Amino acid sequence: MAKSYSALQIVLHWAIAALIIANYLISDEMGRSFYNMMKGNAVSGFTPVWHVWAGVAVLVLALVRLVLRMVSPEAHEPVVTTIDKAGVWGHRLLYVLMLAVPALGVIAWFGGIAAAADLHVIVMNIMMIMVLGHAGMALYHQYIVKDGLLLKMLRPR
């Protein structure tokens, strides 16, 4: 097993995960708020303010994380088998999705583009399925394979 992630990488991983889950839950009124905004009506209430700014925070924090990942690869396992490659591509796809979902939200909201809002929802659903698979794999490694993988994302090196 490679070294753990750094403290900053761990904080960013869990902060982004928490913000994504919170935005999934705090989103019910977004369709109506978006419709009102497009019609030129006033947009009010907690949900649009939270959803937009928590989502923008995900975009910024995910970009910081991507840079950190490039400059500090110590936590990455050697890639040997096809399964290892699947893991690497799974993580790459998660990065693409966690950048694309808020980026599409920003284009929809600040650009007033309805097609981007539709794509935002479609890509968000794909991301959530990937996240479920990802969390399942992490728990499978930790509790069935028992290789301590989860600890890499809990205890800083």
Contact residues for ligand HEM, defined by CB under 6 A: 13, 16-17, 20, 23-24, 27, 30-31, 34, 51-52, 55-56, 58, 69, 75, 91, 94-95, 98, 101-102, 105-106, 108-109, 117-118, 120-121, 124, 131, 134-135, 138-139, 149-150, 152-153
Q: Supply the minimum distance, in Å, between the C-beta of residue 75 and ligand HEM.
A: 5
Task: Considering the complex, state which of residue 11 and residue 75 has its C-beta at the smaller distance from ligand HEM.
Answer: 75
Nearer to ligand HEM, 11 or 121 (CB): 121
- Give the shortest CB-157-to-ligand HEM separation in angstroms: 12
Angstrom distance (rounded) from CA 60 to CA 57: 5
The answer to whether 155 touches 4, Cβ cutoff 8 Å, is: yes
DSSP output for 65-89: HHHHHHH--TTPPP--SHHHHHHHH
Output b/e per residue, 21-39; b: 16+ Cβ within 10 A. Answer: eebeebbeebeebbeeeee
